[in-house]
Amino acid sequence: MQVHREVDAIGMNCPLPILRTKKTLAEMQSGEVLKLKATDSGASHDIPAFCKQTGNELLATDNEGDAMIFYVKRR
């Protein structure tokens, strides 16, 4: 999967991972993919809900050590 931007929200608590994701997606073009790394336990529910509300597509989730990885395609 081609990733165009990456947000490292490791160690950040809610709502910072969502805010960083929202800000970065706003700077991206339609169809581009964002990779988000987060350790906040709420991100597992917050990121899918954010994508559903905003119309962005959650392509995949993964784990990398203690971090959750989210791939979000910009609407």
* CATH code: domain of residue 22: 3.30.110.40
Number of domains the chain contains: 1
Ordered per-residue pLDDT tens for the chain, 75 residues: 899 999 999 999 999 999 999 999 999 999 999 999 999 999 999 999 999 999 999 999 999 999 999 999 999
Range of the domain at 56: 5-73
Question: pTM of the predicted model, to two decimals?
Answer: 0.96
Task: Tell me the C-alpha distance between 50 and 60, whole Å.
Answer: 14
- Give 73's contacts (C-beta < 8 A, 6+ positions apart): 31, 32, 33, 34, 56, 57, 59
Active site amino acids: 14
Q: How many CA atoms lie within 13 A of 6 on its CB side?
A: 7
